[in-house]
Structure 1
Amino acid sequence: MAPLRSNRVIPAGWAGHHQPVATGTMTTVCRIWDRAVGPPVGLDGPGSDMLAARNVPCRVQELKSAGEGSTVLAGQEVTERRYLITVPVKTPVHFKTGTRGHQIEVTEIREDGDPMLLGRRFDVIQVMTGSDVWERDLVCIDNQTQNEQDGDTNAS
């Protein structure tokens, strides 16, 4: 076997070359809210001055894990689920986590997408980084108690 021409196993520009392919898998659109300038998570909806980015392609996928479910906080049952939301790595947002972190709202879905995803808001709890990334991975929480909409609560 002949040796490699250089000592680089992964060539320069490798991640950048593949980033458009990853973005092509993002079939949903979202906007990103900066909670640092508004009320903390769970209090009121975001104001227009909190908009950090709009029309951002994304992909939303529930993360299955044991131990998730409902808890009772301050007398109210709270149900949370974790999601992996990916956005283009060059999205112009320096993501923050916590009660004053960023929030992602799904604004568009494909015709064959899940209609219950539209309008849902997810709180960013972890920002994944790496040396060779194709997309920005965000671990988020869907507080299903706070995300209930008329269609969810009135269904019979």
Structure 2
Amino acid sequence: MAAHFRIASDNARVGLPEVSLGVIPGYGGTQRLPQLIGKGRAMEMIMTAGMIDAATAHSYGLVNHVVTSEELIPTCEKIAGKIMKNSPVAIGAAIDAVNAGYVDGINGYQTEIDCFGASFGTDDFKEGTTAFLEKRKAQF
């Protein structure tokens, strides 16, 4: 749940069974799950210690993609390849801006404004816009 996004094979089962052991989910489980799937669904999963299948996890928004076991690694590599074609500086700033919206006391919009403005002074911005104008792929 701490990953930026998640991909599951169609035979995956996920859950937080800790209450069946007399303990609560730790390492952010009680905080991240409600943020990802909503409080009601998270409370039910946590309190029942129930497991859900990959299709349900997808419908809840817990995973972004469900693929066969054979497609799992190639799908991950394909997505990673798409990400790697983009500006690492911009990706980092986008991650910071999105995450800021989930921190109490932080104005995510202000973080976005700050990161957006800072992007214009980077070498990646210069390369990206130059490549666009030259009708070529950027080399970050």
* Class of the TM-score when normalised by the shorter of the 2 chains: under 0.3
Output the TM-score relative to the length of structure 1.
0.22
- The structure that is helix-richer by fraction is 2
Please give the TM-score of this superposition, normalised by the length of structure 2: 0.24
Q: Which has the higher contact order (CA 8 A, sep 6+)?
A: 1
Structure whose residues are more often strand by fraction: 1
